[in-house]
Structure 1
């Protein structure tokens, strides 16, 4: 397992994982504090990524929450990787395979807002099961069916962040290139079902979908997909970029601002939500 060198991302992930374990175990913060002999403010700082974690405290909390051994050891490793003294943060943080996706899942689960520009595939939070399976198999055609099924289940489970209970739902704002709608994934039937799902999803109050048609003149050109994450409780804003080798996080203010401006220009060039639904419906009719 490779641990990221960036302290802020590491502490944020650890805090998210701890709070998720506590909530799933059904413990209020005051009860969890007893496991490490601490006051509620300390646990709050840990869960919000604002305090360096003591590995032994993390072990005690994970055991108190009855986390599986593998999860406990992983969280302890995250705590042990945190330096005692804060060092200068890198403006670009590179995550390694396979740990990068686990970190991504934690950030996505706790994000209050995600803005995304997609040029090849439908955003994972908006995919149907059939589309997701085809998408995964396209990337790993020789993968064992058990692995594929697990990855499909994980992708479907991620969508729970769009309808959280007891906490604010994720606000998802997506700009899709027309290429996403035209590139056949699986079959015409899979595509037709997927596009109908996009239309239905776009009507939910916390989801906005805009389509960027091919024929928009003189629009800004962005060579790759990207996502903008905001985590309110952790006071974290980061740009998320992904490629075949892993993921990169850009957290400096000027980096985030440049991508934020680029997204705004893409959004302004795209069709508005009602027109986008009409456009998606028209493309869906072509998959007969």
Structure 2
């Protein structure tokens, strides 16, 4: 299985997997600490993605949890690919906030993502210039180096659309017409972004539907959301984001409710072919 290069993502993935294995095995953190002779804070930080892992500790934990040989080897590989302990620059830490780490791990491991966007093109489909413009708008006084780190993180996320070693994520997008008509950065940036969307709509693992302003009886949905499915982990969750961080809804009833809403939005949107034609017109409108 391909291993992503982002060190923060590596630690987050490892933490998610370790916590899942421990909970499935029915152990408390204190039990796991005894297995590797560690203190409670160390293991808690490890599961939260805030601790660089020792591969031998990971091997012992995996065996203690009863992981399969394949699971154990994958977790050890994650640990081995993490950078050695060193002083971190504050800019690098801020480039991926704590609340966003779990999102990155979920996105990387997801087998299916369904998302509804209102004001912006989804990050997985953004051009570099469009991404940079949105980040600068939110943080106009930020150090340019931090901006570029955030842009690089956003571009790295797009590797899930063409993963090596396992199937790419299935991405199903309903995109409000508002996101297509609101100029982000410049008309030149928007034209390139519309061209990117046209190209993305032709990929076999991406379904893109435009929800036009004149869609009759469209369901009023005031905020964007994303639905994640991770088949390997048996996980389904709703992701909601606001100014202060993110919320994950994991109860079956919550996921079902949002799935129904997404289905309504899809039904109200143009079909994929009509959506591509709409996007072609948007490309021309930004000449």
TM-score, normalised to structure 2, is 0.73
Partner of 2:196: 197
- 5+ residue gaps, structure 1: 1-9, 19-30, 49-57, 72-96
Residue 227 of structure 2 contacts residue 237 of structure 2 at CA under 8 Å; is this kept in 1? yes
The 1-side partners of 2:109 and 2:228 are apart by 10
Aligned residues: CA RMSD: 3.1
Partner of 1:254: 253
The 2-side partners of 1:134 and 1:256 are apart by 32
The 2-side partners of 1:218 and 1:228 are apart by 23
Residue 211 of structure 2 contacts residue 270 of structure 2 at CA under 8 Å; is this kept in 1? yes
Q: How big is the shift at 1:202?
A: 0.7
**Cα 1:235/1:35, change in 2 over 3 Å:** closer
The answer to whether 1:42 aligns with 2:66 is yes
Residue 239 of structure 1 contacts residue 251 of structure 1 at CA under 8 Å; is this kept in 2? yes
The one-character-per-residue Cα deviations of 1:155-212 (angstroms, maximum 9, x if unpaired) are 0010001111111110000000000100100100000000000000110000000000
**Cα 1:142/1:257, change in 2 over 3 Å:** same
Say which SS state the counterpart of residue 36 (structure 1) adopts: helix
Structure ranking higher on relative contact order (CA contacts 8 Å, 6+ apart)? 1
Partner of 1:86: none
Q: How big is the shift at 1:44?
A: 4.3
The answer to whether 1:265 aligns with 2:264 is yes
Residue 13 of structure 1 contacts residue 106 of structure 1 at CA under 8 Å; is this kept in 2? no
Q: How big is the shift at 1:42?
A: 2.8
The 2-side partners of 1:63 and 1:156 are apart by 21
Q: How big is the shift at 1:277?
A: 0.6
Count of aligned residue pairs for this structure pair:
231
Partner of 2:82: 67
The 2-side partners of 1:124 and 1:167 are apart by 21
- 5+ residue gaps, structure 2: 1-14, 22-45, 47-54, 87-95
TM-score, normalised to structure 1, is 0.73
Residue 174 of structure 2 contacts residue 269 of structure 2 at CA under 8 Å; is this kept in 1? yes
Partner of 1:116: 115
Say which SS state the counterpart of residue 234 (structure 1) adopts: coil
